Structure 1
Amino acid sequence: MLEKTRPKVLFFDVNETLLDLTEMKATVSTALHGRDDLLSLWFTTMLHYSLVTSASGHYEHFGHIGAAALQMVAANNGITISEKHARETIGKSLSALPAHPDVKPALAALKDAGYTLVSFTNSSNQGVKNQFEYAGLTDFFDERLSVEDVGKFKPFSDTYAWAARKMNATPEECMLIAAHGWDVAGALWAGWRAAFVSRPGQQPFLLAPQTELAEPDLKKIAEHLIAYK
């Protein structure tokens, strides 16, 4: 039977979970000469090399990795993008993303219900600050955590352990809410609880433990959590 007690802290992934990436994808597509078919490859290449960076004991801003991935995917498809253009494309697009329509009502309801809300992202500290200011999300959160401060990207278990310590919580007291199968898988394997937001095009990792909650939007996730004892 699933645990129905309240988590001490709710951690939220940011990109795609809270923020709508539609406008960013359009900007990246323009840089790739309208090749919408390359967007998924670009995003998975960015994630791949963030893991390569962490596994090798290094750290680089997520946006810079995204820019490098953009140049790599472009080059493999006969498109030339300079480092300056790639960084400007990713930097500007990541900082000007609106929240999904369900996000603010869900966060407000969870905050009113007494939950501690923490954002937990692979983006840099300045990056998420800019994102939240643009999207109007700053006041909903008790804390903003970026992997920049630990130097290792999610889904490394060390990174979830660091975030739990930052909030004076045990892993069992933490719940990650995210729209990425790799992220909720990492949290579960680190001993956390997890809720999966099945945004369009997102699927849980079938070899990972099942998440405690899985709903198509944050409002439904919030309704479940508010009913917890």
Structure 2
Amino acid sequence: MPDASDKKSSNLNHITTLFFDVNETLLDIQPLKAVISKTLDNRQELADLWFISLLHHSLVDTASGGWHTFAEIGNAVLNMLAAQHNIQMSDDAPSIAEALSQLPPHADVIPALSALQQQGFKLVALTNSSRALADKQLNHAGIMHFFDAVLSVESIKTYKPDLKVYCWATEQMDVPRENTLMIAAHSWDVGGAKRAGMHTAFIARKGQTLSPLLPEPDLVCSDLNDLAASLGPTKVNEMQN
């Protein structure tokens, strides 16, 4: 499996546009899990289960023909877990949207985005968050100015890793999928993007692993600084000349 210590493979030489997952890839969700844990009787294991269940129910919602925002599904899952474990939630518990909107960036994010921008890549945020929530998240984290576009699945009402999302996103940016790189800390996200025809980079955040059932990513990086180093100094303008 390729990793960032390898020389950049030739099939990445024509990458012009980088698509970034937001939650957990760019933003640290540990403060959110702390809020969830506190709301659920200080049970950390339920906070971890909440995030897994959030992803599960987002896919169930769209696969069954429904649509709710990420925050709405998150609140529903929170109430379900409380009911399942006989936990009485306090009335002053923060909303999921509020907690999501205040997540900090991982320490590597700002220097890596700056380096990638200077290298000449076009940067795009592609998120399961609603557009309004994504704007709040990126502004609060101080990284909105790095992005040429922010794309939310809310526009097409289906969640990643539905292949439709990646096809739609690349069409929105008017870029061939072979010239794109999807970057995420979730195996299911890079797996979906790979099957849709994008190149992919997996960011091995703590606790994240690759699925043996999904296509291997083009790059496996320890963090975003590792990714920036692996992509090298090639400029988009030079690639297009």
TM range (shorter): over 0.9
Partner of 1:12: 20
Is contact 1:122-1:146 (8 Å) kept?
yes
Measured after TM superposition, the shift of residue 227 of structure 1 is: 4.6
What stretches of structure 1 of length at least 5 have no aligned partner? none
Partner of 1:199: 205
Whole-Å separation in 2 of the counterparts to 1:85 and 1:174: 43
Corresponding position: 1:77 with 2:85: yes
Aligned-residue RMSD, C-alpha: 1.6
Identify the match of residue 171 of structure 2 among 165, 175, 198.
165
Whole-Å separation in 2 of the counterparts to 1:55 and 1:169: 27
Is contact 1:32-1:74 (8 Å) kept?
yes
Whole-Å separation in 2 of the counterparts to 1:89 and 1:120: 23
1:192 maps to a residue whose letter is M
Is contact 1:157-1:189 (8 Å) kept?
yes
Aligned ranges 1:60-209 → 2 under 5 Å: 60-81=68-89, 88-209=94-215
Bigger RCO of structures 1 and 2 (CA < 8 A, at least 6 apart): 2
**TM-superposition CA deviations, 1:45-65 (whole Å, max 9, x none):** 110110011112222110110
Whole-Å separation in 2 of the counterparts to 1:168 and 1:44: 33
Query: Alignment partner of 2:205: what SS?
Result: coil
Whole-Å separation in 2 of the counterparts to 1:45 and 1:203: 18
Moved more, 159-168 or 73-82: 73-82
2:73 maps to a residue whose letter is I
Q: How many residue pairs are counted as aligned between the two chains?
A: 227
TM value normalised by structure 1: 0.94
1:11 maps to a residue whose letter is F
Identify the match of residue 36 of structure 2 among 28, 31, 55.
28
Whole-Å separation in 2 of the counterparts to 1:68 and 1:80: 15
Runs of 4+ in 1 over 6 A off after TM superposition: none
Is contact 1:180-1:202 (8 Å) kept?
yes
1:64 maps to a residue whose letter is E
Query: Alignment partner of 1:204: what SS?
Result: coil
Is contact 1:20-1:100 (8 Å) kept?
yes
Is contact 2:18-2:122 (8 Å) kept?
yes
Is contact 1:31-1:89 (8 Å) kept?
no
Whole-Å separation in 1 of the counterparts to 2:210 and 2:10: 18
TM value normalised by structure 2: 0.90
Measured after TM superposition, the shift of residue 2 of structure 1 is: 5.7
Partner of 2:4: none
**TM-superposition CA deviations, 1:154-188 (whole Å, max 9, x none):** 00001111001000012222211000111111111
Moved more, 125-134 or 170-179: 170-179
What stretches of structure 2 of length at least 5 have no aligned partner? 1-8
2:61 maps to a residue whose letter is T
Whole-Å separation in 2 of the counterparts to 1:177 and 1:6: 16
